[in-house]
Amino acid sequence: MHRFRRLSLHFPKPISHAFRHFSAHQTRLDNAGPVASLLTTRAVVRFRGPDTVKFLQGLLTNDVRRFGGPLGEEAASVVPTPNLPAVSTPPVYAAMLTPQGRFLYDFFVYGPARPDQRLDESGSGPGAGSDEVEVYADVDGSVVDELLETLRKYRLRSKVDIESVAEAFSCWQRYGSNLTDKSSSAEEPEASSVGCGGAVDQSGASASRGNGLGWQWHKDPRLDCLGFRGIFPSNSIPPLVEADKETDENNFLLWRLGKGVAEGSTEIPKGEAMPLEYNLAGLKAISFDKGCYVGQELIARTHHRGVIRKRVLPLKFVDNDGNELEQKVSPGSEVMNATSGKKAGTVTTALGCHGLGLLRLEEAFRGLGSLVMQGQEDVKVQAIRPEWWPSEWFMEPQQQSAAA
């Protein structure tokens, strides 16, 4: 099958390496949107069976009951046509934790359009109904085998089949400055309604073309500024991925670093990370109103106490004159506050002159230009407050200082 020529924004791996002329690539990416990336570091897992939703509800930090119930009278009354999107439930971002409340894996949970709410193969009417519950999850591909083993340990007698469908499906992200300026899906109707099985796009891919799953683009469930995310058949290019606009996955990593968003069990250390310090509540991965789930006690106690002293935030590495420095910092390096002489935190992800760091807020924003890399005092660190952060997060270190 013909594939579009990719946008020339490619970066080599691994992600901790820096790249030449990185700032030039950043400028081109900011001005190139919207672009799309095939997320090769992610994999797709399928859950199927009558106990699927109950099983996931007891494991994940977010409420997934929406995937097991009716979509509502209004949605159920919609009959799909080649010019009308299939009805599907918006995805949910969630995490699975250890019993001690530490992060293990993250999930983007999707429910495909119901069979009777998408076109049959002829395109002339709705497909046959089915009572089978089916849920898909976009997960970190580097730990998928371990994840499957862990899930099966929790399954016990639950009637749910769990399997990897990574060969059949791929994860995609559509993002960029011109796209994420939109404030809602209604203002970007093509992305919210067009998909393999959703509706007809300009290239003629429609629900009547034989794809029975009804996949489409959805707003990223974490933040609007991250764009759109979706699962699509591996043997096809998703709709709205225009010629010259498919670009390397590392560009989406760069986009996330600028927003201060970690993803996966490498960037969010498995078995160690505290979800609230990695901003999972702000990224809508945690429901504080649902019932019990594994690891809930620590999350609830920390949340209601209301004090988060460390958070993940964007970093930029520069020299004494403010020039960007590349190939100087690697994950695990320590950040110091030169003014107070105290450790501010640790770099968790590094890409060129950009990165993410888990820093103590009191030290991160104490004195402009005071952060440096330990043992590399010529490398200055700029801590950046993301625009999407609630104001109370920024006030926490000030409140802690006043209390002391």
- Residue 120: the pLDDT is 46
- Residue 116: the pLDDT is 53
360: helix, coil or strand?
A: strand
- Examine residue 50 and say whether the peptide bond preceding it is cis (omega within 30 degrees of 0): no
Alpha-carbon gap, residue 245 to 28, rounded angstroms: 12
- Residue 291: the pLDDT is 85
Q: Judge contact between 382 and 47, C-beta under 8 A.
A: no
Q: Which DSSP string do the residues of 262-280 spell out, in sequence order? A: --HHHHTTTTT--TTTTTT
Residues of the chain with pLDDT under 50: 1-24, 27, 71-85, 119-125, 128, 180-189, 193-213, 399-404
- Examine residue 233 and say whether the peptide bond preceding it is cis (omega within 30 degrees of 0): no
Alpha-carbon gap, residue 91 to 66, rounded angstroms: 10
Q: What is the CA radius of gyration of the chain?
A: 22
Alpha-carbon gap, residue 342 to 48, rounded angstroms: 51
Dihedral sign of CA atoms 36, 42, 46, 51 in order: negative
Q: What is the dihedral of CA 280, 285, 289, 293, to 10 degrees?
A: -100
- Examine residue 14 and say whether the peptide bond preceding it is cis (omega within 30 degrees of 0): yes
Domains of the chain by range and CATH?
24-179+209-259 (3.30.1360.120), 309-385 (2.40.30)
The predicted model scores a pTM of: 0.82
pLDDT tens for each residue of 352-373: 999 999 999 999 988 777 899 9
Pairing of strands 342-351, 334-337: antiparallel
